[in-house]
Chain A
Amino acid sequence: MRFTYPTALVLQALLDDRHHGFDIMAATGLPSGTVYPILRRLDAAGAVRSRWEDEATARQEHRPARRYYDLTASGRAMAAEAGSRYRRLAPLTAAPAIGEV
């Protein structure tokens, strides 16, 4: 799997507990047209696993359930490697999550 800078950013966001597409966009500042293909590729490579958010939680917040992405073990390893390759990632992804603003 190719390690582009945006990929590293997405991995870092996932590591920072950003779990759904738009949240990752907000955290990384990357456009949706970049984030989603990266998520698909990570999924195909087995670095992330997707699941649907708990319906009850979503209903409580009066919104539909979103698709969540979690790092797998190999994804974590990848994220760690990405982190060491791109040392300045952490500050870049330190933006507040959507909903917290």
Chain B
Amino acid sequence: MPSRRHRLALAVVATAARLTPAALRPEWRREWRAELDTAARDPRTPLVRHAFGAFADAFWLRQRHVADLDWIDDLRYGWRQLTAHAGFALTAMSILAVGVGAAIAMFSVTDQILLRPLPYPDADRLVTIWETRADAPGRLDVAPANFLDWRDRVTSFETFAAATPIGLNHTGGDTPEVFFGMQVTAGFFEAFAVRPLYGRLFTPDEYTAGRHHVMLVHERLWRQRFGGDPSVVGQTFTINGARFTLVGIVPESFEPRLLPAAAARHVWVPKVIQEWEPRIRTSGYWNVVARLRPGVSLDEAQAELAAISAQLAREHPRTNEGTGAVAVRVRDHLVGDVRGAFGLLAAAVALVLLIACVNVASLLLARGVSREREVALRIALGASRPRVVRQLLVESLVIAVAGTAAGVWLAHAALRGIVALGPASIPWIDTLRLDGRGIAFAAGLAVVVALLSGLLPALRSAHGGLAWTGGRTTTAGPGRQRLRSGLVIAEVALAFVLLAGAGLLVRSFVSLLAVETGFSSANVLALQVFAEGQQPTAERRARYAEDAVARLAALPGVEAAGAVMAMPFIEVNINVEEVFTIASQPPPADGEAPRAYLSPATPGAFHALRLPLRGGRLFDERDRAGRPPVAVISDTLAARYWPEGRDPIGDRLTFDLSGQRTDVEVVGIVGAMRHDGLTEPPRPEIFLPHAQAATGSLTFVARTTGDPRALIDAAKAAIWEANPQQPIYRVATLDELVGRTLSPRRFALAIIVGFALVALLLAGGGVYGVLSAVIAARRREMGVRVALGATRADLVRSVVGRGLLLAGAGTAVGLAATLGAGRLLERFLFGVTAHDGLSVTGAGAALALAATAASYLPARRAASADPIDALRTE
């Protein structure tokens, strides 16, 4: 039976136990009871006094528990804090969502396009080979004769093959249709190591005339067009007027957009090398793909190609002087062009993410000011500083996770936008989506963002801790103000870089829109056909073109109609470039022969495209087959080879046309057209009357009085009246064709302008935040200044001045960065330099405006400071 003092001591401990955290209570009680029970055996022990110490113990544990919640409690507490300050939390989350969303989208693009593994064995050994020419920039398609010589002489490659695009007119169905296909030489599929899904690939003898009526179909087309029926293998189809047997299905994994990156191709037929092709060295229209031998490096292969090109230049100086060959890995060929654009995009994304983090850090710092009391209290109660930092970090983690969740949603939307609006020339862009790796990246990013934005403010707050001494100092000290000002300067600088970049791209775009194409693209409808199959002779092709043009011209709403072979801005342009001689000039030295693009055209084409006549005459009724051959040349050609004072009109030109020596008289000069894009120079071109050089590759052009799209059906019907079996390969308005070449730029522009605006908003928000904190801190001072006679205008000026000072400092830093980083942008610029004054000034002005607007609200608050209020609180 316990003694009375023992019972009393136990009662005291039982009371104290109620103070302890429930989770610790049973063990705590057991510990104290064991001590008291043991100590009770010694009657001299002051049991009750000892028992009262349990209150101190219990109280310590209780307050420690409040300060030292575990992670779950931290989270719960963090969430409560955020919901209690929903405005702050929503702002911070939205800011992060924008930055993180952009970053996730960017990651997905990089991961799924730029770093995507190619679906071919040993893909690193796969290369594409292109011609280079001293007088033309970039990589050029390969002329057949050069390909054949390279193929015969190279030793660095296992397989060396070529492919050339072809429109395969399929007839015999309900309406004639076009399959977008490729003619391929032997070794093409072997280079890619493709295995057919059904059937077989081409056999070596199928590359010879007469045995070549076989075709392969891509799995995608097979599923869409033939319902995935394997029995279709072995069936025959009427293609270009002949019966072709479908011999196999090429699996989905084979990327059909492989060589000409512009359009996917789903049918393959063997390439029979025509009798005249081994003589063609100047007109490139083949794409070459090859597989390096194991152990041969790209550099070694490149060196061999250079040596062969040099040999060819010696053997054929007239055509091959300055012609080289460049080997590019297939991966680099596919994504090389977009890599630069995405690099720019990635830089913009990184900047926006950084600005977002800085802004959230700034917001957290501002909140740290109002939480100083709370933090000081916790530290006073025994919470360690690392503990407080942890709690604050958990709060920024909660913000980061919520912001990231919203960002994932934004990224999903952004990726759908990219799929819908992005230029189709980017490979695999249509398969872009938010995948598991994107989500994993987002999760990692959330942690990084939480640390980036939360660590500094957390350390700062915990550092402030015990300095709290009363109500007065709950405003930010000068150190914190300096830190926030520094962050805002950084934000303004980053925003400046983006704004200046956006300005440069906008200016480039405007300059580009001002570029003259050489023709008038408004109200022109273009319809491309490949009529060689349907019209096998020159006479029939000439008659067909004349008939179809006449029917088009007769349509109500058509002002002028014609047909031309080389159609500017169309995807599959027919580029036939030839060297020629000029009768009035001495024979040129080797490698210096004049070159021009040849293009048969009907008289109406000049009217439909509104090419200005610069001299002489256009084609007319006189220029028929059997009449003296004539030509009209473009003014760039005239300027290049007939220097001032000499008139090309009446001069004679001699060149090979499909292997035939042709001699023509120049009768007219028209304005030159750009063909491949607004950044390309106007083309030196020789037009021949279609009646005298009848080709089946034609684009009909019709100038309409109203919307050309309204005439599409009537125009197609007119062409089918001329020949109901003639498939139409492509129909578009000329404005669409020109606009298509602008779409990558428009896309890049939209993105960077979007980012720049976000950055501007964030920077404005940053200035606002800092000034609001400054005003809150100096409210009393403002009151005193008003009491001492300062006018409200003085106060507004002083606050706005401070905002502009921040913006000015940021702009200076941003300007330095822009001048340094300008080089990165250079290849995206057109008509402006990277140091364009207007863009830089514009960026500065936009930021100054934003800073003024952001300063104005806090300034008005400052100006409303009440002197009485100030004096009372003093």
Contact = CB atoms under 8 A, between A and B. Distances in A.
A31 B54 CA distance: 10
Most buried by A among B41, B55, B57, B61: B57
Interface residues of A, number: 21
Contact of B41 (A20, A63, A67): A63
Nearest to B37: A64
Interface in B37-59: 37-39, 41-42, 45, 49-57
A67 B60 contact: no
A67 B55 CA distance: 18
Contacts of B53: 31-36
A20 B35 contact: yes
A66 B41 CA distance: 15
A94 interface: no
Nearest to B35: A22
Given A25-B50, A44-B64, A63-B41, A37 B56 contact: yes
Contacts of B39: 22, 98
Contacts of A64: 30, 33-34, 37-38
A83 interface: no
A37 to B, nearest CB: 4
A29 interface: no
A40 B58 CA distance: 10
Interface in A70-101: 98, 101
B37 A22 contact: no
B663 interface: no
B61 A32 contact: no
A22 B52 CA distance: 13
A36 B50 contact: no
B382 interface: yes
Contact of B68 (A31, A33, A44): A44
Contacts of A31: 49-50, 53
A66 B57 contact: no
Nearest to B55: A33
A65 B35 CA distance: 9
B34 A36 contact: no
A36 B36 CA distance: 14
Nearest to B31: A67
Contact of B56 (A25, A33, A63, A67): A33
Nearest to B61: A40
A21 B31 contact: yes
A41 interface: yes
Interface in B58-72: 60-61, 64, 68
Dominant SS among interface residues on chain B: helix
Interface string B345-377: 000000000000000000000000000000000
B566 to A, nearest CB: 81
A37 B57 contact: yes
Contacts of B37: 63-64
A67 B27 CA distance: 9
A44 to B, nearest CB: 7
B391 to A, nearest CB: 15
Contacts of B56: 32-34, 36-37
A94 B55 CA distance: 28
Given A37-B56, A67-B34, A22 B50 contact: yes
Contacts of B35: 20-22, 66
A35 B63 CA distance: 17
Interface string A4-28: 0000000000000000111001000
Contact of B38 (A32, A35, A44, A63): A63
A20 B33 CA distance: 13
A65 B33 CA distance: 10
A33 B31 contact: no
27 contacts: A22-B35, A22-B45, A31-B50, A31-B53, A32-B51, A32-B52, A32-B53, A32-B54, A33-B53, A33-B55, A33-B56, A34-B53, A34-B56, A35-B53, A36-B53, A37-B56, A37-B60, A40-B57, A40-B60, A40-B61, A41-B60, A41-B382, A64-B33, A64-B38, A66-B35, A66-B38, A67-B27
Given A22-B45, A41-B60, 17 more contacts: A21-B31, A31-B49, A31-B50, A31-B53, A33-B56, A34-B56, A35-B53, A36-B53, A36-B60, A37-B56, A40-B61, A40-B64, A44-B64, A63-B37, A63-B38, A64-B33, A66-B38
